[in-house]
Amino acid sequence: MLSWVNVLLLVSYGACAPQSYDVIVVGLGSSGVTAASILAKAGKKVLGLEAMDRIGGRVKTVPFGDGIIEEGAEWIHGTENSRVYDLATENNITGPDPSFKSEGDYLTAEILSYIKKNYPHLENDKVFIDQVLDLMNLFVNAYEASNDWHDVTTQSSAEGLGGHQHTSWHKHGYKTFFELMLNTYKNGPGLPNLDIKLSTEVSQIVWPKDGSGDVKVSCTDGSTYTAKHVIVTVSLGVLKERYTTMFSPVLPDEKITSIQKMSLGLVNKVILRFPQRFWVENTVYVLVEVDNDGEDLWFTKHGDISTPMALDTALTIWLAGDAAKTTENLSDEVVLDKSMKLLRRFLGQNYTIPEPTGMIRSKWYSNAYTRGSYTFDNLEAPKHPKLRENLGAPLIDAKGIPRVLFAGEATNPIHYATVHGASETGHREAMRIFKSKWYSNPYTRGSYTFDNLETPKYPKARETLGSPLLDANGVPRILFAGEATNPKEYGTVHGASETGHREAMRLLK
pLDDT of residue 303: 57
The sign of the CA dihedral 372, 376, 379, 385 is: positive
Answer yes or no: is 200 within a domain. yes
What is the CATH classification number for the domain harbouring 324?
3.90.660.10
Give the three-class secondary structure for 318.
Answer: strand
pLDDT of residue 16: 58
* Model confidence band, residue 55 (pLDDT cutoffs 50, 70, 90): very high
Asked if 175 and 64 sit in the same domain, the reply is: yes
Q: What is the mean pLDDT of the chain?
A: 84
CA distance 305 to 291: 20
Let me know: does 157 contact 382? Beta carbons within 8 Å: no
89-111 residue pLDDT tens: 888 886 533 333 444 455 556 66
Query: What is the CA 100 to chain-centroid distance, rounded?
Result: 27
Asked if 271 and 259 sit in the same domain, the reply is: no
Mean pLDDT of 280-289: 68
Let me know: does 392 contact 35? Beta carbons within 8 Å: no
439 burial via Cβ count (<10 Å: 0-12, 13-18, 19+): middle
Q: Which residue has the higher pLDDT, 375 or 114?
A: 375
Instruction: Show Cβ contacts of residue 215 under 8 Å, excluding neighbours closer than 6 positions.
Output: 24, 205, 206, 207, 208, 226, 227, 228, 229, 230, 403, 404
Answer yes or no: is 483 within a domain. yes
Residues composing the chain = 509
pLDDT of residue 14: 43
Answer yes or no: is 157 within a domain. no
CA distance 277 to 338: 20
Cβ-based neighbour number of residue 120 at 10 Å: 9
For residue 133, the surrounding DSSP H or E stretch is helix 126-144
CA distance 147 to 359: 24
Mean pLDDT of 406-433: 95
Q: Looking at beta carbons, which pairs linking 126-134 to residues 24 or more positions away fall under 8 Å?
A: 131/288, 131/290, 133/108, 134/288, 134/290
**Domain ranges, residue 47:** 22-92+164-263+372-439
- Angle between helix axes 103-118 and 126-144 (nearest 10 degrees) is 140
Which DSSP state fits 188? -
Let me know: does 466 contact 475? Beta carbons within 8 Å: no
Residue 286 one-letter amino acid: V
CA distance 56 to 37: 13
pLDDT of residue 450: 74
Asked if 86 and 108 sit in the same domain, the reply is: no
φ and ψ at residue 216, rounded to 5 degrees? -110, 130
CA atoms within 13 A on the CB side of 295: 1
pLDDT of residue 145: 46
474 burial via Cβ count (<10 Å: 0-12, 13-18, 19+): exposed
Instruction: Show Cβ contacts of residue 166 under 8 Å, excluding neighbours closer than 6 positions.
Output: 75, 76, 77
Mean pLDDT of 143-159: 52
Which DSSP state fits 378? B
CA distances (Å), origin 310, targets 22, 73, 83, 499: 39, 14, 22, 42
Least confident segment among 52-61, 200-209, 226-235, 306-315: 306-315
Asked if 86 and 175 sit in the same domain, the reply is: yes
Answer yes or no: is 88 within a domain. yes
pLDDT of residue 415: 92
Mean pLDDT of 125-144: 59
Asked if 191 and 340 sit in the same domain, the reply is: no
Asked if 226 and 80 sit in the same domain, the reply is: yes
| Final residue before a domain boundary, out of 300, 335, 361 | 361
Instruction: Show Cβ contacts of residue 422 under 8 Å, excluding neighbours closer than 6 positions.
Output: 29, 30, 31, 34, 57, 233, 407, 408, 409, 412
pLDDT of residue 287: 63
pLDDT of residue 34: 97
How many folded domains does the chain comprise? 4
CA distance 171 to 310: 5
Query: What is the CA 430 to chain-centroid distance, rounded?
Result: 15
* Model confidence band, residue 345 (pLDDT cutoffs 50, 70, 90): confident
- Which of 190, 241, 207, 181 lies closest to 35, judged by CA? 181
Q: Looking at beta carbons, which pairs linking 91-98 to residues 24 or more positions away fall under 8 Å?
A: 91/180, 91/185, 93/169, 93/172, 93/176, 94/167, 94/170, 95/167, 95/168, 95/169, 95/170, 95/171, 95/172, 95/309, 96/154, 97/154, 97/155, 98/155
Asked if 143 and 187 sit in the same domain, the reply is: no
Mean pLDDT of 41-47: 96
Asked if 194 and 321 sit in the same domain, the reply is: no
Answer yes or no: is 215 within a domain. yes
Asked if 45 and 191 sit in the same domain, the reply is: yes
Query: What is the CA 506 to chain-centroid distance, rounded?
Result: 44
396 DSSP β-pair partners: 402
* Concatenated DSSP letters of 449-493: ----TTGGG-TTHHHHHTPPEE-TTS-EEE---SGGG-TTTTTSH
What is the CATH classification number for the domain harbouring 79?
3.50.50.60
Answer yes or no: is 491 within a domain. yes
Instruction: Show Cβ contacts of residue 125 under 8 Å, excluding neighbours closer than 6 positions.
Output: none
Asked if 335 and 278 sit in the same domain, the reply is: yes
Alpha helices in 230-366 (DSSP H): 236-246, 253-261, 321-328, 332-347
pLDDT at 139 over 60: no
Mean pLDDT of 70-82: 85
Answer yes or no: is 72 within a domain. yes
Asked if 177 and 65 sit in the same domain, the reply is: yes
| Final residue before a domain boundary, out of 361, 385, 410 | 361
- Which of 407, 42, 32 lies closest to 200, judged by CA? 32
Asked if 311 and 341 sit in the same domain, the reply is: yes
What's the Rg (C-alpha) of the chain?
Answer: 26
Cβ-based neighbour number of residue 87 at 10 Å: 18
pLDDT of residue 115: 62
Answer yes or no: is 10 within a domain. no
Q: Is the entire prediction scored with pTM above 0.95?
A: no
